[in-house]
Structure 1
Amino acid sequence: MSEVQKDFDILELPLEGVAAYWLSLKKLVGSKRNFKALEEEAQYTTEPFVRHLLDVGFCGYSDDRVRMLAHAKMETLLGETARRFNLMRVAILDVATGENPHRTLAKLLAQYPAPPISEDKAKALSQELLKLVPEHQAGQERFFDVGHKSLDDKLIVTLLFYVLLSRHESKSGCQPLLAYVSSRYFREGLSMVIDGFDAPFVRKWLKEHKAAVLSETRRKMLMSTEMCVAIGMRLEYEDVFRVARSYMR
């Protein structure tokens, strides 16, 4: 069904957009007695929390079990996102203060119970990224991206690279690469550093913006859970919409 959005990021999509997604699923199901149409939807949805809801929400579990499993996935995903924001914060503030990259790497790896990459490999790969900067070719932009969905080992290497780059070419040397950064959190935080904002102000902004993003994402996940349950209960479209409006300002 064309109006069903196949791929989105629940962290970045506005709450109204997330509500529209679930309402489109209700239209897709209509008054049918089964939810087979949603099985195909689950196969094409890459958003991890939504995919999880589609997996557990329509297989016969009780509403309480659906909510329990949704809560477990929500806490897991929010925890992972919070850690990636913490990694970005470390790198941004270390660019601001001119931190020794070896100390930066130690702080990055400290975020994990077991390092996702060895120190030697992280250093070697970040040095390789430095070599790409002067004359990087089309298609290499992805190597400079920092995103909240990046794999942990890649994220650590790229963040260490930005700290190294700022030491080699000054903070302004990072400016041309910001266009390749998908994370607003990292892009705006590093932009403030490049523009000369003092470290205490940037630290406060990073803390407050992280809290705001995670709080809003939690609200979208809670709304998604209740809309999923409402669809599973075969409530009418307007009743599912009432659930969504309960979470809207």
Structure 2
Amino acid sequence: MATTEDLTTLWDRCERVVVLSGAGMSTDSGIPDFRGPNGLWTKQPDAAAMFDIQTYVEDEEVRKRAWVGRRTHPAWSAEPNAGHRALTTLQQAGRLGPILTQNIDGLHQKAGSVEVLELHGTIWETECLTCHDRVPTQQTLARAEADPRCLRCGGILKTATISFGQRLDPDVLDAAIDAARHADLLVAIGTTLAVMPAAGLADMAKHLAIVNAAPTQYDAQADVVLHEPIGEVLPEVARALG
């Protein structure tokens, strides 16, 4: 069984390290994941409809439910946890390159990390699905409308996040692929590595390490696998290398 020391040793001998973070990265900040025992889709299977772009566009009631959820989303008050802060320490020490994240909460940036590529977009902006005008989400929420429309063209509004059926931003995806292909080590943290194309990044680096509560389909090919708390593993690595 691998240990945090094994991860630290592998990290230390790799010059170019990138991180791929998923929902498990933010659970210690009070933001639930999707597929875990306490995940959003585990507890509310019908909530998945709000994350399908075709359903969202066609069903006004789904959009209204989505906006109710956005008003109370824990991201608005969440603070970076020990794992986020540890990655910032490693970046500042020159021991970590870009952070490729599937998360939409902005907590990596709030912790002070730079070079954060948001593969699945951000909850902090709202985008019109017709004219693609963007405004801060808090500005949209302040209108207190059940199904707000674009003030520029009247189109349907959605947070600037990627739903099922939507393409990832090609510039962001290309940058993430480039970072992964040139990495000596990709550390997948808090992700089940089940959602493509983000999961495919795990195939691209020379070495792969995984820190996740549950097993993933990539465990067998990883150099190091830790099913330990992220908030304990990453600070220990940062203390050793930061």
Give your verdict on TM over 0.5.
Answer: no
Q: Which of the two has greater helix per residue? A: 1
User: Larger Rg: 1 or 2?
Assistant: 1
Shorter-chain TM band = under 0.3
TM score, norm. by length of structure 1: 0.26
